[in-house]
Structures are given as C-alpha cells and as structure tokens.
Amino acid sequence: MEALIILEGIVIVLLVVLVAGLLRSHAEILRQLDSLGAGEHHETFLASPRRQSSLGAIGARALHGVTPLGASVSLALADARGHTLLAFLSSTCASCGAFWNGSRQLGLEGVRPVIVTKGVESESPAEIARLAGAELLTIMSTEAWEEFRVPATPYFALVDNGSGRVVGEGSAPDWDRVEDMVRRAIADAGLHRSTALRKADVDEELADAGFEPGDARLYERPETP
C-alpha cells in the first residue's frame, strides 16, 4: 500500500511537470505568433506618433523610388496643402489583400493615398504592378520603409503636407477603418494646432506689451487696492 502511494505521488509530480512544460511551450508559441503579426489584428492610429520625428527635421522632404514599371518618382511630403496617406504594403502580406484588391481613392477631401512597397531588391516589380493596378500611385522604395521605421504590414502613415510631419500612423484591416482613423488623426492634429496658434498669439501680445518669456513681472501678484 505504501509503495502504491509513493508511485501515485511520483505520477502526480510527473504530470505537474508535464503540464507546466506544455503551458510554457504554449506561451512561447503565442509570443512568437504575436511577434509575427498572426494574433489579433490591432486597429491603431496614433495621433501622437510612436517616434518623435519631423520629416523636415531629418531631411526627408520627399520620398524617392521607382514605380513598378521602372520610372523614377519623387513624392513631395512638405510645403504643400492637404495630407498624404502612405500605405506600406507587401506582396507576401496576407492581411494586405483588402488593400491590393480594394484599392481606391479615399473618401476624404485633401488626402492623397500612396502605396509604398520595398524596393526591387525585395519585391518583384511585375507582381507589385499586378497587385497595385493603376488606381493609386505606387512607389517602390526600401529607403522609405527605413525612414518611417515600418514595423509590420499593412501599415499607414499620415503626413501633413504643410509641415512634413507625421500626424498619425498605425494599422487597420480595410480602407473603411483607415478612413475613420484618418479623420480622427486630422481632427486631433487640428486641435493641437489650434492650441499652439492660441499660445503663439498670447506670446505675441505679451511681446508687444514689453513682456518677454519668463519675465518675472508675469508672476507677480496684483496689488490689492
């Protein structure tokens, strides 16, 4: 009887070790799948981009590359009106199908969508031409992917053509969701811009009155009559 109890205890310990090993393996598999983008599709579009950068500040006033047909192209990203929506897609990306097959002009005035793939060293021009069609401008440029630090596909970056700044970026499953997120990003950027303009107006009025930034007189308590 004692031997049976000992044997049962050993079996229980082995089962615990086995289950723990399976759980660790399962967690590792999920982690790997998530890193490959095979998990839940996260719909995000950050009005405050994940990196602090201005295209103008780092010298990228335009995107340079080639079309799938081999023509050189340079796309201005600053000193213009409206916004440019860069759609970073890949021919090997299963989730990009909705954007290749349903590519169309966004229903947003002043927003120009542009498809950006990696260069000819990574993508087949013939395959990209077949997928992209002729509806949207398509630029093949690995340099653009590096400039925008594209983490996965599909990925989108909304650029303010006036300042050259990225005002929103993220991913979405279809064009309709992209439209919604672009609207929010433009609205948020407009709110931030309005606040900045109001601050600039106040600073200008103070300067006209003889007050410089940090002037001690601005922090003095008013005299009580």
Q: What is the pLDDT of residues 144-171, one digit of tens each?
A: 999 899 999 999 999 988 888 888 889 9
Domain-embedded: residue 16: no
Domain-embedded: residue 218: no
Domain-embedded: residue 192: yes
Strand 137-140 versus strand 111-117 pairing type: parallel
Predicted structure pTM score? 0.63
In CATH, what number is assigned to the domain containing residue 75? 3.40.30.10
Does residue 68 carry a pLDDT above 90?
A: yes
Looking at residue 220, what is its pLDDT? 65
Could you tell me the end-to-end alpha-carbon distance of the chain, in angstroms, rounded to an integer?
99
Domain-embedded: residue 94: yes
Domain-embedded: residue 99: yes
Contact 146, 12 (CB under 8 A): no
Distance separating alpha carbons of residues 103 and 141, to the nearest angstrom: 19
Domain-embedded: residue 69: yes
Provide the domain count of the chain.
1
Domain that holds residue 146: 44-201
Looking at residue 164, what is its pLDDT? 83
| Strands (E) located in 6-134 | 44-46, 62-66, 72-76, 83-88, 111-117
Contact 168, 185 (CB under 8 A): yes
- Predicted confidence (pLDDT) per residue in 3-34, tens digit: 666 767 675 756 655 655 555 655 455 445 44
